[in-house]
Chain A
Amino acid sequence: AQRVTQPEKLLSVFKGAPVELKCNYSYSGSPELFWYVQYSRQRLQLLLRHISRESIKGFTADLNKGETSFHLKKPFAQEEDSAMYYCALSPSGTYKYIFGTGTRLKVLA
């Protein structure tokens, strides 16, 4: 079965602390993995995807095929990082997403 699991519904960290939002996936082929973010009162938007291997707003995510994980990390959290984060998988050859249930990140002052 194709599935994305985000085990934490809520993650609270203090400003300046490291952040790791966990994402595990289940897929037999070679998927594309994404992180989408939704800031308060804004629409869902792409944060980063594994194929681009870039750092966006200080966030990085490495695809670990052995552990089937795509955890999102940032070394120093900022208050403006507070948002809802969704990990998503796009099966190879399709243009659809399978989303996890999301993790709400709260960065405390």
Chain B
Amino acid sequence: ETGVTQSPTHLIKTRGQQVTLRCSSQSGHNTVSWYQQALGQGPQFIFQYYREEENGRGNFPPRFSGLQFPNYSSELNVNALELDDSALYLCASSSHTNTEAFFGQGTRLTVV
């Protein structure tokens, strides 16, 4: 059984650019959630995907968008990057019958 994997592990982008982060869910999981963790803060819920449909969204602007693919892997896209988007982005997968989430190692995004 493979765990949740995220790529890339680190990246640096310039303000105004766009970025795509990727997540492979754990085997057997059909639900993927994305979280943003700013320095010194707990993870904040961005949105969740279940069977390729968005299934709940946190308080994030529309320039944060996502996709889930038939194999349940997922992407997080952020347009028009701002300095405050610098954070650790966490992906978590779960089955829809169990609220336990399994987290990836995260992608550290720095916007300069």
Residues of A at under 8 Å CB distance from B? 4, 6, 32, 34, 43-46, 49, 86, 88, 90, 94-102
| Binding-face segment, B69-77, B78-86, B101-109 | B101-109
B contact residues, total (Cβ < 8 Å)? 27
Q: Is B42 within 8 A of A99, CB to CB?
A: yes
Task: Among A4, A6, A97, A98, point to the contact of B101 (Cβ < 8 A).
Answer: A97
Q: How far is the CB of A18 from chain B (nearest CB, A)?
A: 24
Q: Is A43 within 8 A of B103, CB to CB?
A: yes
Task: Among B4, B45, B105, point to the contact of A97 (Cβ < 8 A).
Answer: B45
Q: How far is the CB of B93 from chain A (nearest CB, A)?
A: 10
Q: Is B55 within 8 A of A101, CB to CB?
A: no
Q: Answer whether A95 and B94 are a contact pair too, CB < 8 Å, given A32-B99, A46-B101.
A: yes
C-alpha spacing A6/B41, complex, angstroms: 11
Q: How far is the CB of A15 from chain B (nearest CB, A)?
A: 27
Task: Among A6, A44, A95, A101, point to the contact of B103 (Cβ < 8 A).
Answer: A44
Enumerate the 7 nearest inter-chain pairs by beta-carbon distance, A residue then B residue, closest first.
A99-B42, A44-B103, A96-B45, A101-B42, A99-B43, A43-B103, A43-B105
Q: Is B99 within 8 A of A101, CB to CB?
A: no
C-alpha spacing A98/B56, complex, angstroms: 13
Q: How far is the CB of A60 from chain B (nearest CB, A)?
A: 18
Q: Is B42 within 8 A of A102, CB to CB?
A: yes
Task: Among A43, A44, A96, A101, point to the contact of B41 (Cβ < 8 A).
Answer: A101
Task: Among A4, A43, A49, point to the contact of B106 (Cβ < 8 A).
Answer: A43
Instruction: Tell me which residues across on chain A come within 8 A of B42, comparing CB atoms.
Output: 4, 6, 86, 88, 99-102
Q: Which residue of B lies closest to A84 (CB)?
A: B42
Q: Is A95 within 8 A of B40, CB to CB?
A: no
Judge if B31 is at the interface, Cβ distance under 8 Å. Answer: yes
Task: Among B4, B45, B94, B99, point to the contact of A98 (Cβ < 8 A).
Answer: B45
Instruction: Tell me which residues across on chain B come within 8 A of A34, comparing CB atoms.
Output: 99
C-alpha spacing A100/B40, complex, angstroms: 11
Judge if B44 is at the interface, Cβ distance under 8 Å. Answer: yes
Give the residue among B31, B44, B45 with the most A Cβ atoms within 10 A.
B45
